[in-house]
């Protein structure tokens, strides 16, 4: 087991995403296979949510990535991408970057090649 910020235990096998607070106040995302990269933990708590505006979220993607996402959604008719776009566009309070569905959705975009490998982590770190 890995203790994250001394208040919650996480296991990268059963819980493949960890958020670790950085000294600058940001949160770094670690995934399964990153066990050797994990830093020593401090005593800060893990936030329950981190909302950003829809506009801010959209601007985390490059123009090429947005074009690829639209192609996957509307040319290839990928229902998963269509649902992600619908949820983002109708998010009244912004996009919660720590919400499991957001994490999975951005990860899915990377998995299908709409964004480059490694970009999901960069985007989720905001």
In a domain, 119, yes or no: yes
Residue 45 lies in a domain: no
Q: How many CB atoms lie within 10 A of CB 122?
A: 13
Structural domain including 30 reads 2-37
Residues 24 and 58 in one domain: no
Domains in the chain: how many in total?
A: 2
pLDDT tens-digit readout, 48-97: 678 889 999 999 999 999 999 999 999 999 999 999 999 998 888 889 99
- Residue 3 pLDDT class (50, 70, 90 cuts): very low
The whole-model pTM stands at 0.64
Residue 43 has pLDDT above 60, yes or no: no
Q: Judge whether 100 lies within some domain.
A: yes
Residue 42 lies in a domain: no
For residue 35, what are the contacts with CB-CB under 8 A and spacing of at least 6?
Answer: 2, 12
Residue 44 domain flag: no
Q: Please, are residues 114 and 65 in contact by the beta-carbon 8 Å criterion?
A: yes
Cβ contacts of 107 within 8 Å, gap of 6 or more: 120
User: Quick one: 31 and 65 in the same domain?
Assistant: no
């Amino acid at each position: 087991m890995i203790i994250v910020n001394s208040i919650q235990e996480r296991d990268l096998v059963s819980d493949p995403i960890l958020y670790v607070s950085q000294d600058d106040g940001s949160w770094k995302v670690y995934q399964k296979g990153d066990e050797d990269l994990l830093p020593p933990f401090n005593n800060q708590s893990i936030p329950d949510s981190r909302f950003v505006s829809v506009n801010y979220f959209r601007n985390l993607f490059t123009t090429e990535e947005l074009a690829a996402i639209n192609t996957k959604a509307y040319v290839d008719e990928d229902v998963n991408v269509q649902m992600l776009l619908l949820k983002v566009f109708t998010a009244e309070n912004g996009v919660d970057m720590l919400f499991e569905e957001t994490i999975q959705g951005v990860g899915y975009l990377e998995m299908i090649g709409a964004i480059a490998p490694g970009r999901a982590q960069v985007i989720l770190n905001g």
